Structure 1
Amino acid sequence: MEVCANSLRSALVAQEGGAIRVELCDNLHEGGTTPSYAQIAMAKKILDIDVFPIIRPRGGDFLYTDLEFELMKEDIKICKQLKCEGVVFGILKADGTVDEERCAELIALAGDMEVTFHRAFDRTRDLFEAMETIIKLGCTRILTSGGHPRVDEGVFDIEDLVIAANDRIIIMPGGGVSIENVVRLVKATKMIEFHASAMSTVPTEMMYKNSHMSEGSRKDLDYQLSDIELIKELIYWANNPM
């Protein structure tokens, strides 16, 4: 199991719960953006599992300006300096194809780090065409929900991708993986890795609340954190499908 960790705290929970790797992100409400230098550096300092920071300068689409592309290159250099095991990114062209030239440049910068092509893949015009390009580029894996918002809807497409990949690249389901569907995913897609955030809401411990803020509600002070019991349960059912 790879956990999509929205913070260093979540990454620590992921490790304790049995994850093999974290995709370290910020701003998950935007689909995940590049975490800070401090988050990456501290993660590498205190975690024993693999750390794969996402390289994404903003939310929204995956069509980047020259300036944004330069930021991505600098972030990959930082990850390499900090000895991260891998990075996660994806760049598309306006026509819905993979930006092979720019991705190749980032992969070259990554050097020995593994590269996961993230769910920009699900926005491509043809999943199988995109997969062949990504295989040619030399990525280690593709994170996908099968071209749909959630894996529940894309399960048969994921199965077809696994068959077409024929062990040339890892197809890693992600996007709505839950206790309710993980067994079905294992059986249908023959997945060997999967990706989930496995989060729950942590209520604020603030005693004081400003009644003028959020109409007096404290819910805006709650936050999301990876849930160790959920991680353990997902791993259990993924390894013990009935």
Structure 2
Amino acid sequence: MNLTYEICIDGTEGAIAAERAGAHRVELCAALFDGGLTPSAGMVRATLAAVSSIRVHVIIRPRGGDFVFDRHEVAAMEHDVAAVREAGAHGVVIGALTAEGAVDREVTRRLMDAAGDLPVTFHRAFDMTADPFAALDALIELGVDRVLTSGQESSALEGAPLIAELVWRAGDRIAVMPGGGITGRNLARIVAETAVREVHFAALSEAPSPAVHRNPRAFMGGELRRPEYQRLVTTAEGIAAVIAGGRVASDD
């Protein structure tokens, strides 16, 4: 069994690293600290121009927090889907829920219509649904291509029992892709316990800022903040380490 590897990235260099490491697809985001938000049109175009053999799927999410969107946010997401499609993206990643924790069918359908023939992934908004099996059925009925999930737990390893049941229920009707806390050490176990064929992970390492002049008194965020002069970057080495774990699963 050959696994498909999708890497969660927040910039063009991440896509280049993923391509170099042999990944198949990236999910391009901004603001990974918030769980991933819509990247700028410029970032989408720059990333597409920088890689050639890897598919670039773009997340469409206007803000952090919950997944219950008002009409203005929905309109913005429709415009963003159309914009990334026109830019040449290979797929979009969306997610919208009702206040009661069900898949918002109307919003999902509108965003899928805006996507045209692009593949659609429903992101980890799925993990906030009240009934994952009803949500899975709704996504299948809507024609969504894949769903990203940690099995409604803090990591895909902890959520493996639910992921396995979702895979069994989905059959060939929709791809179930685990994501959340996947590493080279646990990937083989997750694959063995769930029988998934695609996996989603980030491979981030701390890197110092190149800034020489630094002001320790001013901060750009709120009270909960990361160090101002520290970056998280996607590395080819980190991706390769996880893929190596996946090869163990494929050989078993």
For the aligned pair, the TM-score class normalised by the smaller chain equals over 0.9
> In 2, distance between residues paired with 1:231 and 1:211?
33
Counterpart residue number, 1:69: 74
How far the C-alpha of 1:57 sits from its partner, in A, is 0.3
**1:176 is matched with which residue: 176, 181, 185?**
181
Q: Is the 8 A contact 1:32 1:56 kept in 2?
A: yes
> In 1, distance between residues paired with 2:173 and 2:217?
57
Counterpart residue number, 1:36: 40
- Letter in structure 1 aligned against 2:10: N
How far the C-alpha of 1:128 sits from its partner, in A, is 0.6
Report how many residues are paired.
239
How far the C-alpha of 1:229 sits from its partner, in A, is 0.8
> In 2, distance between residues paired with 1:126 and 1:57?
24
> In 2, distance between residues paired with 1:212 and 1:109?
45
How far the C-alpha of 1:138 sits from its partner, in A, is 0.6
1:21-170 to 2 correspondences below 5 Å: 21-48=25-52, 49-170=54-175
1:208 aligns with 2:213: yes
CA displacement, residues 133-181 of structure 1 (integer Å, 9 cap, x when unaligned): 0011111100000011211210111111111111211100001111221
> In 1, distance between residues paired with 2:214 and 2:6?
36
**Unaligned runs of at least 5 residues, structure 2:** 220-225
TM value normalised by structure 2: 0.91
SS in 2 for 1:220: coil
SS in 1 for 2:198: coil
Counterpart residue number, 2:13: 9
Counterpart residue number, 2:223: none
CA displacement, residues 41-69 of structure 1 (integer Å, 9 cap, x when unaligned): 11122212111110000000000010000
SS in 2 for 1:200: strand
SS in 1 for 2:213: coil
How far the C-alpha of 1:85 sits from its partner, in A, is 1.0
> In 2, distance between residues paired with 1:131 and 1:167?
13
> In 2, distance between residues paired with 1:211 and 1:138?
50
CA displacement, residues 61-103 of structure 1 (integer Å, 9 cap, x when unaligned): 0000100000000001101111211000010000100011111
- Letter in structure 2 aligned against 1:204: S
> In 1, distance between residues paired with 2:134 and 2:189?
26
Counterpart residue number, 1:199: 204
How far the C-alpha of 1:213 sits from its partner, in A, is 4.6
Q: Is the 8 A contact 1:15 1:47 kept in 2?
A: yes
1:228 aligns with 2:243: no
